Each structure stands twice: as structure tokens, then as C-alpha cells.
Amino acid sequence: MSLGITDLEITAEESSPTRHVCDPQGDILLILDCGTELRELQVSSSTLSLASRVFKAMFRGYFKEAQDLGKKPEPTGLLRIDLPEDNFEGMLFLCGLFHFNHGVYFGKPYDSEAILNLAIVCDKHDCS
């Protein structure tokens, strides 16, 4: 039996069915559209910047997100970034790997759709 990404959980104190906490100290809340609902990933801008040139430009360059990151406009201290076109399962997989949630991912068989979703997100965000 293969295991899809939706069967995986990232556990943290603040995780919920709609919010997955990849980094409890994270300063970014990625908002992804799952068709019927929005899902959130709490992540670290520093971690994503180290692994992706796209995120590095977004969070460390001259983009609006970089300027907003210094201001922390949300009362929670998390900067909300909408990624409506990104696949949630691919981003969950990617962010889990980047934030060293290896126990959740390695050693389990994956279906081809989970690997494809990861590859698409990696390519889009120019991940290394």
C-alpha cells in the first residue's frame, strides 16, 4: 500500500487540520488553496531562503514580502503569504523536508502523484 502525502502529519502544539506547523518558531504563514478550503503552513523564512532562490529573492530582496517581513503586520507576528497556485501536498512535503521533519517522510513508500507534486513545487521555486 502506498502512502500519499495527505496521510502524513506534521505534529506541533499549534497544528490543526487546516494549519501545519513545520517550524513552531517560523515567521511565515503560507496560505494554500485546497479547493474547498484554505490550508496554512507555518514555516521559517530563513530556512526557505537557504533552500530556494525564489524564496530568497522574496524574503531577502526588494519584493513587498521582504519589506512586510520586517514590519510583521499580523497580530500573531506571522507574515501571511498567499500561494493560491501551489499544490498544498507538494508544499507540505517540501517544507517538511526543509525543516528537517525527516521522520515523517523517509522510510515510507510514496505514490507517483506525491513525488510529482514535490517535483513541480521544487522546480517552480528553484529549490536546491
For the segment 78-117, what is each residue's pLDDT rounded down to a tens digit? 888 898 899 988 898 888 888 887 655 555 677 888 889 8
Distance between start and end Cα atoms, the chain: 30
User: How much is the average pLDDT of 61-65?
Assistant: 68
pLDDT of residue 1: 33
CATH number at residue 98: 3.30.710.10
128 versus 49: which is more confidently predicted? 49
Model pTM score? 0.74
Q: How many domains does the chain have?
A: 1
Backbone angle region of 44, left / alpha / beta, with phi > 0 → left and psi within -120 to 50 → alpha: beta
Domain containing 22: what range?
5-124
How many Å separate Cα 83 from the centre of its chain? 10
- With a cut of 90, say whether residue 120 has pLDDT above it: yes
